[in-house]
Amino acid sequence: MMMVPEGGLQEQIAALHDTLTYDTPIRGGVKSETLVSAGGKFELGFFTPLNSSSESYVGIWYHNLNPRTVVWVANREKPVFVNLTSTGVFAIKEGNLQVLDSFTDDESYWSTGLEPIKSSNLTVRLMDSGNLVLFSDDGEDDRLAVQKSLWQSFQNPTDTFIPGMLMDKSLELTSWRDQDDPGIGNFTFKLDQEGGNQYVISRKSIPYWKSGEPGEFSTSAEMPPLITYMLSNFRMRGVSPNNLTRLEDNYTRLVMNFTGELQFLTYTKQWNLDWWEPKDRCSEFNACGDFGSCNSNNIPRECKCLPGFSPQFVEKWKSGDFSGGCARQSKICEKNDTFLSLKMMKVGKPNPPIKLTTKQYAGTSA
């Protein structure tokens, strides 16, 4: 999620309502139409990132905040290329919410991906929470509409988590490609699938950072209780009441940044970066590879090999690429080998134990 200054094709916007139906699509272009939530907190419409003159995306941002801060993007992998004859349309078609080409109405740049249905009784509403909800309109209020929703943006996020969402095992934040490109980037954030209330950042599916937890094993900083409380959709206990007011305002967000940082920001006249991880190279997961240790005070490189080990790939190591780790210098368990006590070290959680039946154990022992 990035802040997008006004400019390019983002001309004057006519905000009309918070609801989209079959008969009232949102059209891009010179006088782009938008939805604005009932309380005026969020806005949805077409936007063009900085340094682009023709690529247009459908997004949700904070209404009346400048510069524009985008929290969700629909067609992030396939922008609409705007020209004199064609702009984008955000509409309900065949039971799905879609980004279409205004000229042909046949090319779809994005879709909610639901099974096609013929019902014309579908409605899309931008809630004051920032959630975009597609539901069958039977006159329900917002709460019932969410409960009966066919699709909602809170369960299909891009790079930003805001209050009201729930971080469960199915939810994942994916960074932008870079500061001005909302395409799918290299970093993802989600619950650690190994269990517990730990979280993991991955870089191209490889663990990049893991949250720590109190106890003997800790790879990095423990996630602040205020953030885990927000990620649980305010269901966890143990958060000071004095801090809860900070989360009641929707101008609070957790962002998987394109740089690989997980950033927690709050708004008071401007965006403030209150917390982030990883804070340095040594906060990264397995920063120095196998049998390597990391210390930010090490000069000239943060990484060193443990005693008795040397870099696996010397030239890469010298260039600052420590991914190859270190290799043992001698054979395992020689006569004079001893165990060294390494103090002031943080290590990762041990691998979970493998449960074997008696028969399996006998086979592996043999």
SS3 content of the chain, % helix, strand, coil (to 5): 10, 35, 55
**Residue 119: burial class (beta carbons within 10 Å; 0-12, 13-18, 19+):** exposed
Is 1-152's fold the same as 157-285's?
yes
158: nearest Cα among 1, 344, 327: 1
Q: Is 71 a residue whose pLDDT tops 80?
A: yes
What pLDDT is stored for residue 14 in this prediction? 42
Q: Is 250 a residue whose pLDDT tops 90?
A: no
| Of 56-70, 121-135, 232-246, minimum mean pLDDT range | 232-246
CATH topology assigned to domain 1-152: Agglutinin, subunit A (2.90.10)
The residue with tokens 């260039």 is 319
Q: Is 217 a residue whose pLDDT tops 90?
A: no
pTM above 0.75, yes or no: yes
Query: In the chain, what are the domain boundaries?
Result: 1-152, 157-285, 289-349
Q: Is 160 a residue whose pLDDT tops 90?
A: yes
CATH class of 157-285: mainly beta
DSSP secondary structure code for residue 64 in this structure = T
Highest mean pLDDT among 135-149, 162-176, 213-227: 162-176
Tell me the three state secondary structure of residue 188. strand
